[in-house]
Amino acid sequence: MPFDIMRRSKIWFAISLLVIIPGIISMFVNGFNFGIDFTGGTIMDMRFEKQVTLVEIRDVLKEYGLDNATIQLSGEASNVESSENVMIRTVDLEENDRKAIMASLKEKVGNYTVLREEKVGATIGGELIMDALMATVISWVLIIFYVSYRFEWRFGVSAVLALVHDILVVLSIFSFTQKQVDSSFVAAILTVVGYSINDTIVIFDRIRENLKLHFRRGGDLYALANRSIFQTLTRSLYTVFTCLFTTFALYWFGGDTTKDFAFALICGFFSGCYSSIFIASPLWVIMRNIAEKDKAARKTATPAEV
């Protein structure tokens, strides 16, 4: 075997903990930079005297640190590039800041008529967050049951722990960087979960196939898991590189509103590939070895000891 992954499991666990533990501390100390989907904000709906573009509006908003504001072009004469009707949704603005922005828009973009100007509440409230968390926990339980039925319960537990690892890594990075957390971030997390469990199951399926011959050959579980990982490594790398190519393109060439979404996917895809190889499989080996040792101990125990 060119590289023994399983017997270096403590190193892989330590690397993950070096990200997750400081990340959890950061979550409690610094929290997250929640977007307007979570906190509510200000809506400014206006009709310009001429057609304007997203770039013109966003350049003005950048001067006030509102790069991630949601800008929508609408109206009968609108197209994908420009429109007279523009709706801007930003974080909650003070009266002075709002007036300064509107003055800058009039000076640098053109005259307009205000159609609507109001403060709005969060679109993702506490109840919706709790429902999402509950749905996530239920999905993890169902994954454990399904994988236990198709494989064994240790596979299911290892897969779910790898998913928890990936979510904590992405949350930690977003807490460190204070990038905006909004509805697109939630979509990115769900995408990462789907990717990670798929990658993990591919490796586990190969482990299950090799496990049928494991005891006949007299090999240990470390060699079995290593062999299975290297047999599926090419597929795992091709998958993650393909996903990363597209997400990097989205990050570098997409609009400002998609950058945080793409960044979450990049972090999640890296973490998902890492956890499938270096976290989920070693966890299964550890639990399986413990079970084998307990089974051997029970067989060698005397009736009095039992």
**Positive or negative CA dihedral for 177, 19, 168, 206?**
positive
* Band of residue 271 on the pLDDT scale cut at 50, 70, 90: very high
pLDDT score for 306: 45
**Positive or negative CA dihedral for 141, 142, 146, 147?**
negative
Q: How many CA atoms lie within 13 Å of 193's alpha carbon, on the beta-carbon side?
A: 19
**Three-class SS of residue 185?**
helix
Evaluate if residue 52 carries a pLDDT over 60: yes
62-71, 77-86, 242-251, 252-261: which is most confident: 242-251
Query: pTM for the full model?
Result: 0.78
Pairing mode, strands 33-34 and 180-181: parallel
C-alpha span between 109 and 103 (Å, rounded): 10
pLDDT tens digit string along 212-223? 776 555 567 888
Mind giving me the DSSP string for 135-177?
Answer: HHHHHHHHHHHHHHHHS-HHHHHHHHHHHHHHHHHHHHHHHHH
Mean pLDDT of 66-86: 73
45-54, 89-98, 212-221: which is most confident: 45-54
**Three-class SS of residue 269?**
helix
Give Cβ neighbours of residue 247 (< 8 Å, ≥ 6 apart): 262, 265, 266, 269
